[in-house]
Amino acid sequence: MDITPPIDLTTDNFHQLLADRGLTAEQINARDGDPFSEMNLIRRAITHARKTTPFIYRNALATLPETTTWIRELVQQAHAEQTRRDAITPTITNGRSLLLLGPTGVGKTYQAYGTLRALAVTSITVPWIATSSADLYAALRPRAGVDSETEFRRYAHARLLLVDDLGAAKATEWTEEINFRLVNHRYENQLPTLFTSNVLPKQLADRLGDRVASRLTEMCDRVVITGQDRRRQDAA
């Protein structure tokens, strides 16, 4: 593992998340020369979070009680696993998933990225992958020069995965198969996954198929976000 260079804490609100943990910019950027130090792990995770978070969610905060609990449990589990394995760093191995449901614009994706950003300051090493289901299908579409199975495994095996907008696209046999294989792999291996969907809870089985919906029910803590479309509210 490399030493991550000092990070600029004036560009977004990571300083706030760090302050909540009692950490200052000086502490985060202290040169201790240890790639496994907690501060280097946090610098690394923040750098990864900045690279993978879309601009509009760059200051997103996880504000729901369920997201807070989920993060706490993942971190506890990572530390317990570190002790059990006598590992150098706390790493996510397995755990529960989270399903954020709600209509358009209520803040599902915001909460999902807020959750990933909050995890970045906890010092657990988790190079997550974030995708929307539409981008996932595009990445997996068979085409010359790309091994779709290798691509699929990258998502299926990710230590932590965000799948945004599950069930948003019009289903085809092929997208149904991708959804099933992905959810089934994450389910069988209890790999923590953040799913968002604007499908109504009672329509999940209809829209995603009974077998996907059944697995999601068992593996996920479900959060239904209500309210108005914030995009239209902001525009008003």
Ligand X SMILES: Nc1ncnc2c1ncn2[C@@H]1O[C@H](COP(=O)(O)OP(=O)(O)OP(=O)(O)O)[C@@H](O)[C@H]1O
Q: Given the rule CB under 6 A, which of 4-12, 56-64, 68-76, 141-149 is the region that contacts ligand X?
A: 56-64
Among 43, 108, 117, 215, binds ligand X (CB under 6 A): 108
Closest distance to ligand X from the beta carbon of 61 (Å): 7
Structure tokens that stand for 209 in this block = 């198929």
Q: Which does 104 bind (CB under 5 to 8 A by kind): Mg ion, ligand X, none?
A: ligand X
Q: Please name which of 9, 1, 92 lies closest in space to residue 47, comparing C-alpha atoms.
A: 9
187 lines the binding site for ligand X (CB under 6 A): no
Closest distance to ligand X from the beta carbon of 165 (Å): 6
62 lines the binding site for ligand X (CB under 6 A): no
Closest distance to ligand X from the beta carbon of 111 (Å): 7
β-strand 193-197 against 129-132: which pairing, if any?
A: unpaired
232 lines the binding site for ligand X (CB under 6 A): no
Secondary structure class of 208 (helix, strand, coil):
helix
Closest distance to ligand X from the beta carbon of 60 (Å): 6
Among 53, 67, 122, 198, binds ligand X (CB under 6 A): 198
CA 96 to chain centre: 12
From start to end of 62-205, where are the E strands?
97-101, 129-132, 161-164, 193-197
Structure tokens that stand for 103 in this block = 């209509």
How does 91-124 read in b/e, with b if 16+ C-beta sit within 10 Å? bbbebbbbbbbbeebbbbbbbbbbbbbbbbbbbb
C-alpha distances in angstroms, 21 versus 16, 28, 34, 178?
9, 11, 21, 39
- Residue 44 or 108: which CB sits closer to Mg ion? 108
Closest distance to ligand X from the beta carbon of 216 (Å): 17
Q: Sheet holding 97-101: strands in order across?
A: 129-132, 161-164, 193-197, 97-101, 220-224
35 lines the binding site for ligand X (CB under 6 A): no
* Number of residues lying near ligand X (CB under 6 A): 15
C-alpha distances in angstroms, 45 versus 29, 49, 116?
13, 6, 10
107 lines the binding site for ligand X (CB under 6 A): yes
Q: Which does 56 bind (CB under 5 to 8 A by kind): ligand X, Mg ion, none?
A: ligand X
102 lines the binding site for ligand X (CB under 6 A): yes
125 lines the binding site for ligand X (CB under 6 A): no
Q: Which does 198 bind (CB under 5 to 8 A by kind): ligand X, Mg ion, none?
A: ligand X
**Contact residues for ligand X (CB under 6 A)?**
56-57, 63, 102, 104-110, 165, 198, 230-231
